[in-house]
Amino acid sequence: MEALIPTYNRLPVAFARGEGAWLYDEQGHAYLDGVAGIAVCGLGHSHPAIARVVAEQAQTLVHTSNLYRVPLQERLAERLCAAAGMSAAFFCNSGAEANEAAIKLARRHAAALGVGAPQIVVADGAFHGRTLGALAATGNPAAHEGFAPLPEGFRRVPYGDADAVAAIDDDAVCAVLVEPIQGEGGVRIPPADYLARLRRICDERGWLLMLDEVQTGMGRTGTLFAFEQAGIRPDVLILAKALGNGLPIGACLAAAGCAGTLGPGSHGTTYGGNPLAARAALAVLDTLEREDVPAAAERAGEALRARLSEKLAGVEGVREIRGRGLMTGIELAGDASALPRRALDAGLLINVTAGNVVRLVPPLILDDDEIGQLADGVADLVRRHLAGA
């Protein structure tokens, strides 16, 4: 540990293997995974279909660079664009890089329209990544500390407040970048008409609507993409996390009106969309469709929140249990940062965000017994935490 730059407060456990919704430490102890690598392993650990194609591809061809055609990447782009109603994709390695591509696309799009010093509207509480551009778009001042000067060109508004976006009167604005549900910001769900209103505003002003679905995408909220539930379509869609079920891959998808904005030499990546990651992502898409995983995630999420609500009914200090699909937040009245360590002792993996929100983003393949175990275990932890026990 001493040889690692301490950018993480790591819990005292190391995992040796995983299977489905379970991880096993080096001593063989089992842990029910309520985190899924922060919403990455949507199909769980060691899913047979993903493991098989990754092994096959690793023995065939892993990487060639984007100096050459990558047929698997081309097939993945066609599949994702068809599913999302988009025209073209840029592949990279992470959500932060996908957001960087979106930010650059918006700025170049604005430059082509003659907009000087373009501004992108972003939201308080947002999280778009740790690279400098994505960090500047992120709406958490604590994450900015010590990193000034950050890139300029971001105009911040309250999350969920479409009126605040409509009130902007600035010819330099070129795009709106938001998450359909804020994950790192505390599993915050905006008003039901939020995305539709943003779509109308962007259409009226000629702005790009860019949706960061790094956490909500790939079936997490009950549909393949969360924007489908709002009856709209973005101009730019940002994906990562569960796209590769653990293989590093991110994507910035662009609609017809802006798909040609980034031309040769304007942006790039060495590893992004290589044959190994693209093959894994194609297998993820196949599995999500074949097993109708998004619909199962919706049912499982409703069952999880119903059980949590039943177990925590009347418990003082529980402000709200909220979520969509298998993305759930339990907001407490006080600090909850001690809970992940206590959960570890109980054989559960959970996460706390925004300081007081227990965030549950388990694999989407939880069965009924696992939903019950996760809900009962978390409810017991929360009860004891709030009771000071």
CA distance 59 to 66: 20
Residue 212 bears catalytic tag? yes
Task: Name the 3-class secondary structure at 235.
Answer: coil
Candidates 91, 127, 154, 225; catalytic one: 127
C-alpha distance from residue 170 to each of 119, 156, 164, 165, 167 (Å): 9, 13, 13, 11, 9
Tokens of 37: 């690598």
- Cis peptide bond upstream of 48, omega within 30: no
C-alpha distance from residue 273 to each of 63, 194, 269, 298, 371 (Å): 9, 32, 9, 29, 34
Candidates 33, 90, 212, 225; catalytic one: 212
**Torsion sign over Cα 283, 289, 293, 294:** positive
Residue 91 bears catalytic tag? no
C-alpha distance from residue 136 to each of 17, 76, 116, 190 (Å): 36, 30, 19, 22
- Find, among 389, 380, 171, 310, the residue nearest to 358 by Cα: 380
- Find, among 134, 140, 204, the residue nearest to 166 by Cα: 204
Residue 241 bears catalytic tag? yes
Residues designated as active site? 127, 212, 241
